[in-house]
Amino acid sequence: MTDSSNKTLQGKVAIITGGASGIGEATAHLFAQHGARMVVIADIQGQLGHQVATSIGIDKCQYVHCDVSDEDQVKNMVESTVQKHGQLDIMFSNAGTASSSDQTILELDLSGFDKVIGTNARGMALCVKHAARVMVERRVKGSIICTGSIAASQGRNLFTDYCMSKHAVLGLVRAASMQLGQHRIRVNCVSPSVVATPMSCGAYGMDAEQVKKISESTSTLKGAVLKVGDVANAVLFLASDDSGFVTGLDLKVDGGT
């Protein structure tokens, strides 16, 4: 249920790509709890997306099928949101995918590489592009947040394609924040460390409890485990007016990794 006393995002319209599970799902619930007028979940996971929208309430949340690597689908999703709800205030470009194998540079499979780059870099750029276009057109001083990773500031022994894609996200945020500042549109990035989501569990071939142990072992906050709600709270800060003078930031949510 929504807490009507919390108005941090009162009246705002938000899109969350990859909102059917993991970080996106947690953020969709949090946005609704903080007064968002409409949260649009854009995802390829139809059944899960509809379940999340129903759990939040279809008067405050709706699901739209969208493959972020397809520009036509992204464009249509953004434009239909504006047509139905009158505006777009927040784009949380969160959809992503993990490496399908070890993907060391010596054994780099380019079909897997293309899929990861297509979703994590191309898809991210498309969401920022089309969200920014409607914000500029309607003179909305909006907030665009991208999901990065601590992999954007580190190397990796494995998952070369994923590591490259997250470096690209950070470059996108830095460039877009400079270009869109003249329109008072803020562009930031949230970069979590290891967090137990369906995607990370699949990538590591582990269950949630095993992934949580990795999170605990890599954090300087001993005994603390990163949860999707921690990342969602960081996204809420960047989406809200509380961060009104913050742009171009890579906000690490890593427990001091």
How far is Cα 208 from Cα 222, in angstroms, rounded to an integer? 19
Distance CA 94, CA 49 (A): 14
Amino acid identity of residue 254, one-letter, is D
Q: Quick one: which of 165, 151, 154 has its CA closest to 118?
A: 165
Strand partners, 42: 17, 64
Residue 61 CA to residue 78 CA, distance in Å, equals: 15
Q: Does residue 63 carry a catalytic annotation?
A: no
Residue 95 contacts residue 74 (beta carbons within 8 Å): no
56 and 121 in contact (C-beta within 8 Å)? no
The catalytic residue among 162, 163, 180, 251 is: 162
Residue 139 CA to residue 132 CA, distance in Å, equals 10
Contact criterion met (CB below 8 Å) for 136 and 147: no
Please name the residues in contact with 62: beta carbons below 8 A apart, sequence gap of 6 or more: 38, 39, 40, 41, 53
Asked if residue 194 lies in contact with residue 218, where contact means CB atoms within 8 angstroms, the answer is yes
Pairing type for strands 143-147 and 186-192 reads parallel
Task: Determine the length of the chain.
Answer: 257
Q: Which residues are catalytic?
A: 162
